[in-house]
Structure 1
């Protein structure tokens, strides 16, 4: 098994942990505050990770360049706004379905990867991604009678458009992060990903802190008061990001994000056992399609 596969699955699991904790924070913090904690409480861990790789693993620090800084800023800003949209999405529909809409990201990431990096996919991989996205679409209409009309209504609803936009901006951020990591001159994908993560999360923390100072200073107070739960969000977020960044430094973004759809399976488990939401047969069928797409992807990559 290629190393990027278990790394991606671990990242997807940690991302679900972070999203679950973030949803619990939604009632205590505003949208900006709930989005900020994943960066503000996570960047110190990312910096310690780089230092650990340098001083204990003996990895050299790569030389930062202009291309790296450009792609880091693009990816960092894209991830901030995608996260805000995703957090806001939770207020519009249930936890599992809200996350499902954003999982159109693999298709959008494949398009951005082709445009920005010239990365092409095999025919089998394209089919696998389409199967997975069909699973997402099935979940999106699971709470209404299945018909082409309802499918169209679901896809053009406010919830769907915000979710799809979130997935698209997440796709841009993922391609930007891969571009940033690849622009560094070694020493290996792990260190390149770690340095990218540390620089990006530090930039995101400063950016959002300034934003909250301008827009709503009281939100900063709430973030500090909720430090126990917020720090768990930050820790789970940075652990997941370590996996995502490393996997994307090793493999094309579309493959990583397609496999990362396994997060939706973890999401449904959280929805049932933590948020006590009921899952119907259509949603189960959608999950089966997503898993089928993932299996096809692993066979046909």
Structure 2
């Protein structure tokens, strides 16, 4: 089940990210990032009320360690989102997404160290293949350009985004698993609702202190922002369920199909042009994805 759920999560996520990128026409970077929490949290609360109140599903009881873990994951995701939107501004949507795909190795390392869930040898090789594909996409014409591009501010922001998302994915899994043996959906929903609540408070307070105009803009532009919230809750629910069903490395690596979707959206919606080597490099990334799924 984790495979179709992960594919759905990747689709929802790339559509939400594209909508956030589109919001940059009317919102600054931090308010555009805040939209996913401010408009996603009410939907999560509604889903929790229906599940635990109306349907009377058993509500998990969070242990003390749950709170710092999910708070850390929430903050990491906030920072990752801001970094990703900055990368989009510095380059373009597709290239910013590519840089963020270094998340694959970061998730593998964090899961191995923090959760004791290392990949099998062939899985590690496949993860490296993914990174090679990402590097090729970064410099599709001349591989020697990779080192030069590594100093690009967009690359730095992309790697920071990857680190934030990797820590968030690992934290979500750890927090959800700390809730015991209740049904996966119940644990995932509670984990997601709590995290979105923390993110709304933290990011909202930061904007209230540093950018009240931006905070008001989030409310003013509610019509284009609501789809971001809907896509955010749909994607986050799928991610939370997926990383509860299996280890975060497999989930986030399969989720690299998002890269192909990013190029499709870039070409058809944002009218960005890309070359044949970039598409070949995307195929290399997909080979790595299949390897991790098959051998991880």
Q: TM-score range by the shorter chain?
A: over 0.9
Q: Distance in 2 between matches of 1:277 and 1:171?
A: 27
The structure 2 residue matched to 1:136, chosen from 117, 134, 137, is 134
CA 1:147/1:64 → structure 2, altered by over 3 Å: closer, same or farther? closer
Q: Distance in 1 between matches of 2:243 and 2:257?
A: 16
TM-score by length of 2: 0.97
Q: Report the Cα offset of residue 199 of structure 1.
A: 0.3
Q: Distance in 2 between matches of 1:50 and 1:114?
A: 32
Say whether 1:124 aligns with 2:122. yes
Match in the other structure for 1:219: 214
Within 5 A, what are the aligned runs for 1:125-204? 125-142=123-140, 145-148=141-144, 150-204=145-199
Asked if structure 1 preserves the Cα contact closer than 8 Å seen for 2:136 and 2:143, the reply is: no
Q: Report the Cα offset of residue 216 of structure 1.
A: 1.0
Q: Which runs of 5+ in 2 are unaligned?
A: none
Say whether 1:288 aligns with 2:283. yes
Say whether 1:275 aligns with 2:236. no
Asked if structure 2 preserves the Cα contact closer than 8 Å seen for 1:129 and 1:297, the reply is: yes
Is the partner of 2:106 in helix, strand or coil?
Answer: helix
RMSD: 1.2
CA 1:9/1:57 → structure 2, altered by over 3 Å: closer, same or farther? farther
Match in the other structure for 1:79: 77
Q: Distance in 1 between matches of 2:193 and 2:48?
A: 7
The structure 2 residue matched to 1:252, chosen from 238, 247, 251, is 247
Match in the other structure for 1:235: 230
Q: Distance in 2 between matches of 1:57 and 1:185?
A: 20
TM-score by length of 1: 0.95
Q: Which runs of 5+ in 1 are unaligned?
A: none
Match in the other structure for 1:31: 29
Asked if structure 1 preserves the Cα contact closer than 8 Å seen for 2:27 and 2:217, the reply is: yes
